[in-house]
Amino acid sequence: MNIAILGLGTVGTGITKIIEGANPTAMTADLHISHIFVRPDRVDQGDKLVSDYNVILNDQSVETVVEVLGGIEPAHTMITQALKHHKNVVTANKAVVACYIEEFKQLARENNVQFRFEASVGGGIPWIVNLERGLRIDAVDSVHGIFNGTSNFILDRMTKTGESFESVLKQAQDLGYAEADPSADIDGYDIENKLCISVDVAYDTLVHPGEYLPKFGIRTVQAKDIEYFKQLGLVVKLMGRSKLNGDHFSYVIEPVLYKAGEFEASISDNFNCASFHGASVGDLGFIGQGAGMMPTGQAVVQDILDINGQVKHLKRTLDTKLKLENRFDKGNYIVRTTSTQFDSLTSDWQVTSDGEYRTVVDIDAQSMHSIMKKVLADDSEAFMARVAGGVE
């Protein structure tokens, strides 16, 4: 199979290393990278490098286009053009998949080709493929997990070594884990894209990323917070979770505190864990490196091999109408803030204090997130984390 790769950064390089590496398997030996799309100033760095996309589109021998440029444009246009030119598309780009999954799937159907996006959620974890496998038998009514390698790396290092947020973020960037704009990793936007894609597949619906979806990241976490949680025997993780209940679904991205030694608390480095619940399988979870050149490159190549082996995606119509409802998702939240508004904003709930930390008891996620939006306007350093195991 002839393949064109769009983008030769971290993931693009991982894909070429696997396909062109010294140890091909019987299956990867069948794959051939014929073109790599790069910026014009790089074309003279290798004989496969091109900067004119028409060369790829008009080459009938190119069967599959792999998009690993990142971002929305030109990725969106280039993917649609490839599909319209009857080429399969594989992408690791969750930002563009979360926004345009419906259009891409539709174009793939119309042009009798495949659109695959395994690496867009969970990096190296075979998540989409196993979620779809589960869905062959079970209705899935929840998805949750650690869906961002950079934030997990940051929190894990801060917990284990006491290093500063800035120093560990820099390390995550140097290791190729972070997005081009790392605020996507630390503010929850990257998880938002991944949870949207997971929910789309799991509930056969369409949830678009946007400000209406509650997310609270780890931008404001400080070493003293990690230390305080440690004293309580807790470990903080940035989580995404969604639950389906009839025609409603919950959807929340926020830091969550787990007891040290608990499953989620033990997920280290750049690892992710992604889980779903199905009626007959029960809880099923997957762990692996959620970011990085080789794990992610591997997930992309798995998609290419599935196309080459004519393994099809599960059919999804994405047309189930669901309403977002976070009022039933209740728990206790620990908050650090100097906001003078905090007491009045939380007056409807029981609040306990411990030094500079307050715990808001049995509050729903929707109310807590809207309170924190107001608190942040007053105190931009405020941090909150939910204590795992609340009332739902």
Ligand X SMILES: NC(=O)C1=CN([C@@H]2O[C@H](COP(=O)(O)OP(=O)(O)OC[C@H]3O[C@@H](n4cnc5c(N)ncnc54)[C@H](OP(=O)(O)O)[C@@H]3O)[C@@H](O)[C@H]2O)C=CC1
| Distance set, CA 312 to CA 81, 114, 215, 259, 355 (Å) | 21, 8, 33, 40, 56
**String of contacts with ligand X for each residue 30-69, x by CB under 6 A:** --------xx----------------------------xx
Nearest residue (CB) to ligand X, 72 versus 318: 72
Q: Which one-letter amino acid corresponds to residue 76? A: H
Nearest residue (CB) to ligand X, 39 versus 373: 39
Under rule CB under 6 A, residue 271 binds ligand LTNE7NMQ? no
Under rule CB under 6 A, residue 185 binds ligand LTNE7NMQ? yes
Q: How many helices (H) and strands (E) does the chain have?
A: 13, 16
Nearest CA among 243, 123, 262 for reference residue 191: 123
Nearest residue (CB) to ligand X, 92 versus 197: 92
Binding at 217: pick from ligand LTNE7NMQ, ligand X, none (beta carbon under 5-8 Å per type)? none
Under rule CB under 6 A, residue 92 binds ligand X? yes
Under rule CB under 6 A, residue 190 binds ligand LTNE7NMQ? yes
**Alpha carbon distance 202, 205 (integer Å):** 8
What lies within 8 Å, CB to CB, of 43 at 6+ separation is 49, 50, 51
Binding at 185: pick from ligand X, ligand LTNE7NMQ, none (beta carbon under 5-8 Å per type)? ligand LTNE7NMQ
Catalytic residues: 194
- Residue choice 15, 70, 241, 369 for contact with ligand X (CB under 6 A): 70
Biggest distance spanned by C-alpha atoms of the chain: 68
Nearest CA among 192, 55, 184 for reference residue 121: 192
**Alpha carbon distance 127, 133 (integer Å):** 10
Under rule CB under 6 A, residue 82 binds ligand X? no
Binding at 7: pick from ligand X, ligand LTNE7NMQ, none (beta carbon under 5-8 Å per type)? ligand X
Residue 4 CB, shortest distance to ligand LTNE7NMQ, in Å, is 22
Burial of 284 per CB tally in 10 Å (0-12, 13-18, 19+): middle
Catalog residues that contact ligand X under the rule CB under 6 A.
7-12, 38-39, 68-70, 74, 92-94, 119, 123, 176-177, 179-180, 291-292, 296
